[in-house]
Amino acid sequence: MQLVDQLKNISSYYLSGEKVYYIQQDGLFVYSVLQDKKRLAGGEDIDVEVDDSGIYVNIDKKLFEVKEDDRLQEIFAYNATSIYKRGEYILCLEEIDEEEEVRRHIIFKDGHEILNIVNDKLLSTVGNIFFWLEIATMEKEFVVFDIHTGKDLWKFDARETGRYYDEKEERWEEGYITGDFAVKNNMLILFASCNEEENAKGRQYIALNGDNGEIVWQRRSALYGGGNVQFYGNDIVYMRGRKIQLLDAGTGEPKDLIDLSGQLPDDVSVYNAFKVVKNKLYFCEPRKKQIGIINLDTFEVEQLFLVETKAFQINMPEVNDRYLFVQDSDKTVHIYAFE
């Protein structure tokens, strides 16, 4: 990997094709590698989101779409604390009582309000599934709801599917959800505690029917830990330490368990800091400041390199077809060209 450029004092950045959109203290900018930057908007209170349909910017209670020529086109405005786009829906959040954490949630579709509800919950989405989280129990349960009526559809409670043993307290504790969710073929797939005494530290994958919450399959992970659900084709990919596990996403059946100890140094040990892009798995050792690239077709380690920085740690990289981007804790984005 060849270092070709660096961006300094970057609060956050987002990729879209060959372009990089980033936020600094004085505004939102667009940049193409090794070319001049362009300022798109000023101000400090700017939120950016990228999804399959485009790039959206939230500025001063207005939502803008970034057009191909980098114009900001206003698509929605509402007197709300935050405005987000989720697929064909626009979500507005209005803080009513910050101390009691009471919020108004308004959902729009095609410019029309379809839901307006006040509660003390957090609204979250993954794919086309919308759910409520209770702040006190958000690591244990969630409730999926109908966005047109606000009616609860089904609930998942990790305390009913697993538990874990707290070695320090020497007692069994309630089960919990151990990471992010992902959607595949209308199944919500997640990691949660196991319910087997011989696997007290273990985790299990659970696949839930997106329509009714019924468990489609559950499978104990062959690798301790878990929380990052990534897909490669029809497979779930998980990396821990120097091993990669593959499961069939439709059935949960194990397919491969690959040990990369012969290709990776003994001091490399990955925990959740990985992502799959096309046929490559990119992993990060944050405090050792290392980035690795694994070909999932051959399971060969193609790259392992050190990010030269005096910062305390680095974050997960982002990639496009030509470059790899990695931000360090000193807010510098390092840009590498693929050889």
pLDDT at 73: 96
pLDDT at 336: 96
pLDDT at 156: 93
pLDDT at 229: 85
CB 301 within 8 A of CB 264: yes
pLDDT at 188: 93
Report the predicted TM-score, pTM, of the whole model to 2 decimal places.
0.89
Mean pLDDT per segment of 10 residues, for the chain of length 339 residues? 94 92 91 88 84 89 93 94 92 88 94 95 91 88 94 92 76 81 90 64 84 92 77 92 93 93 91 92 94 96 96 95 96 94
CA nearest 238: which of 272, 194, 279? 272
Output Rg (C-alpha) for the chain, integer angstroms. Answer: 22
Handedness of CA 58, 64, 65, 69 (dihedral sign): negative
All domains of the chain in start order, with CATH: 274-339 (2.40.10.480)
Give the residue carrying structure tokens 């140094």. 265
Calpha distance 98→240 (Å, rounded) = 39
Calpha distance 67→286 (Å, rounded) = 34
Give the residue carrying structure tokens 């996403």. 249
List all residues 6 or more positions away from 52 whose beta carbon is below 8 Å from its beta carbon: none
Count of CB atoms situated within 10 Å of the CB of 65: 16
Calpha distance 47→57 (Å, rounded) = 6
pLDDT at 197: 54
